[in-house]
Structure formats: structure tokens, C-alpha cells
């Protein structure tokens, strides 16, 4: 009769390897975020990232295949961080809600302003990377704003005939124009961006509120 194998060593080794892999990937991702932000995409090398992470360059190639693959993975990491962020408390008026939404996104984007600038500039010259970044865009991250706008309309604080989907997209578009194009590309100050958001919130609610 064959003896049953009760040795769990193999299982322990597999778990340890998985943990080591995840830890190495995490170190490479954060090292890549720092290096890309500091020197830009063209000047950054996989060797620089590996050195910053304190790991062998071959691991970067194994986990992310290329520099472009690493850039996409870091962007995915940033998107996931946004998903995990808790929404701010609901505001009392549509104007305050829109202003709070726009300024919160601006502050989050400002934390990684140099990296976002790298993503934008690289996407302009690399169609393959641009398509991959486009796939990572997730508008559901901001869906809570649409739900709050619907609630305002239900309570009569937004006119009944207002199309909430169109209003939602208009707010996102203005946030992109100021938060990404003006702040990140043209380096407009945070103070000026927030002033524009305030004016926009006041003007748009004059049109959609009773």
C-alpha cells in the first residue's frame, strides 16, 4: 500500500514564490513611476528602473516585457488607485457638488502630474500605447457624480428636463480641459485652475437649476 504524501513543503514554496513575485512587481512599478516622472519616457531605461527597484533587469523584462509595457502597467496601477478611493461626502447643492468633484480630481491628478505628462506626450507619438491607455479609461470611477446629479433632479434642485448624461459628460470634459490640458500640459497654477472650476460650477448650475 502506497504511503500518502503529507509533505506541504511544495505548497509553501509556491506561496513564497508568488509573494516574492508580487513584491518584486510592486517594487518595479513604483520605481518606474519615479524614474519616468523624473527623466521622462525617452531618457528612462529598464536598467535605471531595475537599479532603483534594487532588482535584476531581467525581472523587469519577464514581468512587463518592455519599457512600454511597464508604462502601461503603471498607468493601470494609477487607475486602480482611483477606483479604490472613497468618494467625498455628498454636497448640499449642485454647484458645490460639481465644484467639489472637479477640485478633488484636480488634486489627485496633481499628485502624479509629471507621470501623467509622460503618458500624454508618449501617447501622441505611439499609437499602440495610446490604444492600450484608452482601453484602461474607466468612466465608472466617476459614476457616483451622475447618481448624485440624478438625486438633485429628483428633489427638484435640477430642472426636470435636464439630460443628466449630457451634464455629466460636460463636467468630465471641462475637468479634462482644465485639469489635464491646462494644469499638466500648460502648467497653469492650481489656484487658477480652481478659480476656473468655481466659475464653471456657478455658470453651469445657473442654466440647469430652477
From first to last of the 210 residues of the chain, give the pLDDT tens digit.
555 555 555 555 555 555 588 999 999 999 999 999 999 999 999 999 999 999 999 999 999 999 999 999 999 988 888 888 888 999 999 999 999 999 999 998 888 888 988 998 899 899 998 999 888 888 788 999 999 999 999 999 999 999 999 999 999 999 999 998 898 888 899 999 999 999 999 999 999 999
Does residue 71 lie within any of the structural domains? no
State how far the Cα of 108 lies from the Cα of 179, in Å rounded to an integer.
10
Does residue 150 lie within any of the structural domains? yes
State how far the Cα of 18 lies from the Cα of 124, in Å rounded to an integer.
36
Based on the domain organization, do 37 and 117 belong to the same domain? Answer: no
C-alpha 194 chain-centroid distance: 20
Based on the domain organization, do 108 and 202 belong to the same domain? Answer: yes
Angle at 195 between CA 191 and CA 197, to 5 degrees: 115
State how far the Cα of 124 lies from the Cα of 87, in Å rounded to an integer.
31
Q: Where are the alpha helices (DSSP H) in the chain?
A: 9-39, 46-53, 57-64, 67-83, 94-111, 113-125, 127-136, 143-154, 164-176, 190-208
Q: Domain range spanning residue 10? A: 1-65
Based on the domain organization, do 33 and 85 belong to the same domain? Answer: no
Based on the domain organization, do 57 and 88 belong to the same domain? Answer: no
pLDDT at 35: 96
Amino acid at each position: 500500500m502506497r504511503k500518502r504524501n503529507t509533505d506541504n513543503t511544495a505548497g509553501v514554496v509556491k506561496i513564497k514564490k508568488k509573494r516574492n513575485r508580487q513584491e518584486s512587481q510592486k517594487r518595479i512599478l513604483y520605481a518606474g513611476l519615479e524614474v519616468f516622472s523624473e527623466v521622462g519616457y525617452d531618457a528612462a531605461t529598464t536598467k535605471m528602473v531595475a537599479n532603483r527597484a534594487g532588482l535584476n533587469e531581467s525581472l523587469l523584462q519577464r514581468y512587463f516585457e518592455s519599457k512600454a509595457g511597464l508604462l502601461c502597467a503603471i498607468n493601470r496601477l494609477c487607475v486602480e488607485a482611483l477606483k479604490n478611493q472613497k468618494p467625498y461626502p455628498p454636497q448640499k447643492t449642485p454647484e458645490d457638488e460639481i465644484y467639489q468633484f472637479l477640485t478633488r480630481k484636480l488634486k489627485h491628478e496633481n499628485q502624479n502630474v509629471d507621470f501623467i505628462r509622460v503618458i500624454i506626450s508618449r501617447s501622441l507619438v505611439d499609437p499602440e500605447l495610446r490604444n492600450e491607455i484608452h482601453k484602461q479609461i474607466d468612466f465608472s470611477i466617476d459614476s457616483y457624480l451622475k447618481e448624485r446629479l440624478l438625486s438633485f433632479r429628483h428633489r427638484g434642485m435640477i430642472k426636470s428636463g435636464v439630460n443628466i448624461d449630457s451634464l455629466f459628460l460636460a463636467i468630465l470634459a471641462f475637468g479634462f480641459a482644465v485639469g489635464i490640458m491646462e494644469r499638466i500640459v500648460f502648467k497653469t497654477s492650481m489656484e487658477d485652475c480652481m478659480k476656473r472650476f468655481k466659475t464653471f460650477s456657478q455658470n453651469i448650475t445657473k442654466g440647469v437649476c430652477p
